[in-house]
Amino acid sequence: MYHRGVVNLILPRHLVTLAASLGGAASLLLAVGYAQTAGPGQTQPPMFRAATTLVTTDVIPRDANGRFVADLTPAEFTVLEDGVPQTLQSFSLVRGGRTTNLLQPAAPVVEGVIVPPRQVNAGAEGGRVFLIVVDDLHFEAEYTPHVRRLIQTMASTLLHDDDLVAMISTGPSAVEISGTHDRALIAGAASRVRGSAVTAAEIFQLPETSQGAADLRRRAQVAFQTTYRLLRELEQVRDRRKVVLYVSSGYDLDPFVAGRQSADRIQGGRASDPTRFLVESENPYLRLPAVTADLDLYVYMRELTLAANRANATLYTMDPRGLSGVVDAGQAVDQSDWRTFLQKTQSSLRYLAQETGGFAVVNVNDFAREFARIDAETSDYYLLGYTSTNQDQSRRVRRLEVQVRRPRVTVAARAAYSLASQSPPAR
């Protein structure tokens, strides 16, 4: 049984299954039609890494009035990888979800092996691919009604009939929906969502461990690992707009420092606990997690954004807290500590979104308006593809810059992509 505040986090059964087999993501890819079909008694053919890989990126050009520019040609685009111009091999315009291929890529060259041609489901053309990640490990129970209403609004206003949608939760809500076009199924799953984040009051009561405050670090690892594995599977989806809707209150691995040390005006005053003197504040084994907390969080988030960019998937992060002000007095948190916590958690959501070409929905209550903005960004865009001229596999992260040769037109595109690492991040 899962219990909030337990130091050793027990993974829900559906996440254990997901980590072992990635069944939800595999079903998503099968629905899209990019998994090889095998009959009874047959095994899947082996997969080989090609000598070259087509790098694709979504590009949104807008004029001075913010309107999408739909009449650009391949000759007007320049793609730079680490400052080196690349030759476009594919160029598609997607307008209102309909794709027009203006430049087809050449057949890939495969050296040394003969790979059977990939079977593509013709009926899977068109539409977007959405992955909804409900990080219930990182929003409190009091925000459960907000998240449920957010998901229902998302299903009714953002999702279209031809969109393929998968949904997963990171914690005890145990939501796992493979690829579906049924928006009612997504809206219905909202009733199963329940926030289980550790509250500030609980953090003050839980013991300090060698991993820092309570089990915050482990919770973040579970959330990131769940999303990371699904992003790895999304790499197999080609020529579709891939969007990750990430619902979370953000991350801070070392929150309420003064309060936990009983050095603020509340935990060190009216809410003081006499047992605080039993904590060895100078113990290096307890201080090290605090020293490395922000660095570790950055490493986790950076690897997640690299995986998203490699899959050409855009993250849109959503904070269910909405407009945030003062904290509930029952939490016994000093307002200075609370403001720092709020700033760090919101900054983490902004980083995840901005590094993948999306934006963070934070400090707002009108989610329907933000969904309309996401809908516009994911319905009208260009899809550019090229084969990198850089064969140096040791240079894992490559900077991307997309330019357009038309006056007063600006473009929005991801700023980098990365080659796959040899192994996923440590658990």
Q: What is the pLDDT of residues 351-405, one digit of tens each?
A: 999 999 999 999 999 999 999 999 999 999 999 999 999 988 888 889 999 999 9
Beta-carbon contacts of 109 under 8 Å, excluding residues fewer than 6 positions away, are 50, 51, 52
pLDDT at 22 over 60: no
Enclosing H/E stretch for 401: strand 397-404
Q: Specify the 3-state DSSP secondary structure of 331.
A: helix
Interval 183-196 mean pLDDT = 96
What does the pLDDT read at residue 256? 85
Query: Hey, what long-range contacts does 266-270 have (CB within 8 A, 24 or more apart)?
Result: 266/332, 266/333, 266/334, 267/204, 267/332, 267/334
Given a contact cutoff of 8 angstroms between Cβ atoms, the answer to whether 159 and 153 are in contact is no
Amino acid at 355: E
pLDDT band at residue 267 using 50, 70 and 90 as cut-offs: low
d(CA 320, CA 256) in angstroms, rounded, equals: 21
What does the pLDDT read at residue 47? 38
Q: What is the pLDDT of residues 199-254, one digit of tens each?
A: 888 888 777 776 777 789 999 999 999 999 999 999 988 878 999 999 999 999 98
Weakest-pLDDT range from 118-122, 260-264, 267-271: 118-122
Domains of the chain: 54-112+380-418 (no CATH), 127-377 (3.40.50.410)
d(CA 220, CA 226) in angstroms, rounded, equals: 10
pLDDT at 131 over 50: yes
Interval 147-155 mean pLDDT = 96
Nearest to 351 by CA among 306, 312, 399, 301: 301
What does the pLDDT read at residue 38? 40
53: buried, middle or exposed (CB in 10 Å: 19+, 13-18, 0-12)?
middle
What does the pLDDT read at residue 350? 97
What does the pLDDT read at residue 275? 55
Question: Which pTM does this prediction carry?
Answer: 0.76
pLDDT at 281 over 80: no
415: buried, middle or exposed (CB in 10 Å: 19+, 13-18, 0-12)?
middle
pLDDT band at residue 419 using 50, 70 and 90 as cut-offs: confident
Q: What is the pLDDT of residues 82-107, one digit of tens each?
A: 999 999 999 999 887 677 776 765 55
Please spell the DSSP secondary structure of 165-199, one letter per residue. Answer: EEEEESSTT--EEEEE--HHHHHHHGGG----PPP
Cα end-to-end span (Å), the chain: 21
Given a contact cutoff of 8 angstroms between Cβ atoms, the answer to whether 293 and 260 are in contact is no
